[in-house]
Amino acid sequence: VERIFQGRLMQAPHIAISGAGIAGLTAALALAQKGFAVTLIEKRTGFTETGAGIQLSPNAVRGLETLGLGSAIRRAGFEPEEVAIHSATGREIGAVALRPFMQENYEAPYLTLLRADLHTLLLDAVRGTPSLRLIVGRNVSHWQEEREQINLTLTTEKGGAETLEAAALIGADGLHSKTREQMGDKRSPVFAKAIAWRALVPLVDAPDFAKDGRVHLWLGRQGHVVHYPVGQGRLLNIVAVLPAQEAVPGWSQPGERDEMIAAWAKAAQPLREIVSLPAEWLCWSLYDLPVHRLAQGRCALIGDAGHPILPFLAQGAALAIEDGLCLARICGENPTDIASALRLYTKIRLPRVRQAHTIARRNGMLYRATGLKALLRNLRMAHLGPEGMARRYDWVYGHRD
Ligand SMILES: Cc1cc2nc3c(=O)[nH]c(=O)nc-3n(C[C@H](O)[C@H](O)[C@H](O)COP(=O)(O)OP(=O)(O)OC[C@H]3O[C@@H](n4cnc5c(N)ncnc54)[C@H](O)[C@@H]3O)c2cc1C
């Protein structure tokens, strides 16, 4: 499309994105907002989204606001009052201030919502953007750089193949990214010897304490449990992380209810009540991979493709959103030299995603601490108080691109 682009009459550079998850959809919208022509390629044929709850901290909500999705995300979300932290034996050991603290300090709320609602909201915005083309049922299976462009090979499940030319490829193809592999990073994500079990139940069925508008986090030597309202407060999202020797494939492997109940048999009564609520659990394995590089030539990685992160800082979706916005801003500032723009993107994002990765890992160890380490952890939480606990993550929540 020849048009006025960045104040000049020129062809709007065409950018291809592999993967229409939260990272890919956000990047597509942000790049379109900067005037780029975007093709978003998704290997699945439909979007019957799975997933349970997702937490969106103010840094992510502010990012979505810049895409014009502020009111929609606030409508879809639930704004909890605080995170109440308990030991699995029933002692309340600390809290993290959320409402109104987050809005007052970081100019956006901390929300909990269904992953499917977030995905749908982004997808609707993509479908409503004329300069964005969404192709489903195509796998970005190969690409090659040639002078000023990148040539992609798209394949279908039935063995069909087609090609596409673009000025750059953004790999937003998730944890087991093909783009990352083709960029020369042959490492596979490492199974963290833990499985996340998730379930959604109607909030009306939950015990009263779970309806108090707070996120509850229970820490035990056998793992941890977190539960919070989602679906605008209609549903309770429960996630339990337990150790495991073997990984399970995908995001939705059925889990045995009795196994979950047995794992918490010696826990406090309210926690036992929570884990007994769901009739069905779905499991996904947790993976970890230290960040290597985020760009090479005309190709860049965003979201889980670039930096798989353990969920113990609740920043998976938030970092994916930040990546997309940062990438679009930098490409928008230098549209005639995309390769340099991608190098700058990697320089800007690497320190932040590395720090988040390290802290998420450390939190996982703190959650499982026992003996003296657990005692010191609990004393520190009590000493900091709810606002002090929240302020530890100023660098996360207050981040501006
Ligand atoms: C089905 C599902 C359920 C999830 N459930 C939860 C949850 O309950 N709670 C939680 O905290 N997080 C969940 N996550 C993870 C969370 O969405 C991500 O950690 C975070 O949002 C970052 O997203 P992403 O876009 O980088 O990756 P993803 O969300 O993994 O998206 C990657 C996308 O790329 C597509 N793709 C992969 N390879 C190719 C290819 N070669 N060509 C084209 N397309 C490709 C995939 O089909 C997918 O749509 C889930 C992810 C998925 C895919």
Mean pLDDT by 10 residues, the chain (401 residues): 52 92 98 96 85 93 97 97 97 97 98 95 96 96 93 94 96 97 95 97 97 97 96 95 96 95 98 97 96 95 97 97 98 94 97 98 95 96 98 97 85
Ligand 1 center from residue 115 Cα (angstroms): 10
Q: Is 303 in the pocket of ligand 1 (CB under 6 A)?
A: yes
Two tokens, residue 306: 């670039």
Non-local (6+) Cβ contacts of 210 within 8 A are 203, 216, 227, 236, 270, 274
Q: Which member of 106, 110, 228, 393 is catalytic?
A: 228
What is the pLDDT at residue 7? Answer: 55
What residue type is assigned to position 187 of the chain? R
Report the nearest atom of ligand 1 relative to the CA of 22.
25
Tokens of 243: 């150790």
Which residue among 17, 25, 26, 43 has the greatest number of ligand 1 atoms within 8 angstroms of its CB, and so is best to mutate?
43
End-to-end CA distance of the chain, in Å? 29
The Å distance, Cα 19 to ligand 1 centre, comes to: 8
pLDDT score for 52: 85
Contact 230, 78 (CB under 8 A): yes
DSSP-assigned beta bridge partners for residue 227? 216, 238
Give Dmax over CA atoms of the chain in angstroms.
70
- Do residues 308 and 175 lie in contact, with contact meaning Cβ atoms separated by under 8 Å? yes
Percent of the chain as helix, strand, coil, to the nearest 5: 40, 30, 30
pLDDT of residue 178: 95
Question: Two tokens at 108?
Answer: 């956006």
CA–CA separation, 208 and 270 (whole Å):
10
Span from the CA of 45 to the centroid of ligand 1 (angstroms): 14
The reported pLDDT for the residue numbered 5 is 56
Q: Is 139 in the pocket of ligand 1 (CB under 6 A)?
A: yes
Ligand 1 atom 6: residue of nearest CA: 51
Report CA(174)–ligand 1 centroid distance (Å): 5
pLDDT attached to residue 2: 47
Residues 6 or more apart in contact with residue 164 via CB below 8 angstroms: 16, 39, 41, 151, 152, 154
What pTM, to 2 d.p., does this model score? 0.96
DSSP 78: B
Sign of CA dihedral 303, 307, 313, 319: negative
228 is catalytic: yes
